[in-house]
Amino acid sequence: CHLRFLLAEKNRYHLYISLACPWAHRCLMTMRLKGLQDIIGLSIVHPVFQRTRPDDPNDTHTSWTFADPATTPSLPGPSGLGAYSSEFAIPDTVNH
């Protein structure tokens, strides 16, 4: 199979969702129905955009923010995502 490099492996994928989003809700349901909740990490974001740097009065950038920053995984910057290739990843140039 040409998609063999996309196999489900623990800690390889992480799903970021807002419970207010119908599409994200479908992704969460599919993940649970397929029994992948112990394989794919999950982070819940707030359902509305918020300031990404609330302590910086000059920063007007708004986006989704994590519902619980204490449980939010920290990912490396553009150089890679852990032990897996970042060939198809889009670097987060705002926060990293």
CATH code for the domain of 30: 3.40.30.10
Question: What is the predicted pLDDT for the residue at 78?
Answer: 46
pLDDT at 74 over 80: no
Query: What predicted TM-score, i.e. pTM, was given to this entire model?
Result: 0.52
- Compute the distance between CA of residue 45 and CA of residue 62 in angstroms, rounded to an integer: 13
Element (H, E) at 63: strand 62-63
Question: What is the predicted pLDDT for the residue at 35?
Answer: 94
pLDDT at 8 over 60: yes
Q: Provide the residue range defining the domain that includes 25.
A: 9-70
| Residue 14 within a domain | yes
| Residue 31 within a domain | yes
Residue with tokens 């995502």: 81
The most distant pair of C-alpha atoms in the chain lies apart, rounded to whole Å, by 51
Residues in the chain: 96
Domain count, the chain: 1
pLDDT at 65 over 50: yes
Question: What band does 77 get if pLDDT is binned at 50, 70 and 90?
Answer: very low
* Segment among 10-19, 32-41, 59-68 with least mean pLDDT: 59-68
Q: Quick one: average pLDDT of 83-93?
A: 55
| Residue 25 within a domain | yes
| Residue 83 within a domain | no
